[in-house]
Amino acid sequence: MITKDEVKYIAKLARIGVSEKEVEKFTRDLSAVLDWVEELKKVDIEKISEISHIFGRENSLREDRVEKFAEAEKIIELFPEKKERYDKVKSIF
């Protein structure tokens, strides 16, 4: 069971504001998730063989390729504030 203080601490670490109502909801929700994880820990998987890849060994994705984006200048012009060709944003640290 997770406590309200732990939820508030997690919110503080994530730098998000939570109301008391949200704290109560997240306490219930996160406790339910943790209870579910505890149930999963009880499952005996000793007799289940490992699966390394469920789709076989063929790559079904396309090859990566580098392409120049033709609209870059149009996007850069839309930046509210820029430094050279970079979008200038407020520091988060």
SS (H, E, C) the chain: CCCHHHHHHHHHHHCCCCCHHHHHHHHHHHHHHHHHHHHHHCCCCCCCCCCCCCCCCCCCCCCCCCCCCCCHHHHHHCCCCEECCEECCCCCC
Q: Where do the domains of the chain lie? A: 4-41
- Express each pLDDT in 39-67 by its tens digit: 999 998 888 887 766 666 676 788 889 98
At 41 the pLDDT is 93
Share of the chain above pLDDT 70, in %: 92
Share of the chain above pLDDT 90, in %: 53
Instruction: Decide if pLDDT at 13 tops 70.
Output: yes
- Express each pLDDT in 19-33 by its tens digit: 999 999 999 999 999
Global confidence as pTM: 0.50
The class (CATH top level) of 4-41 is mainly alpha
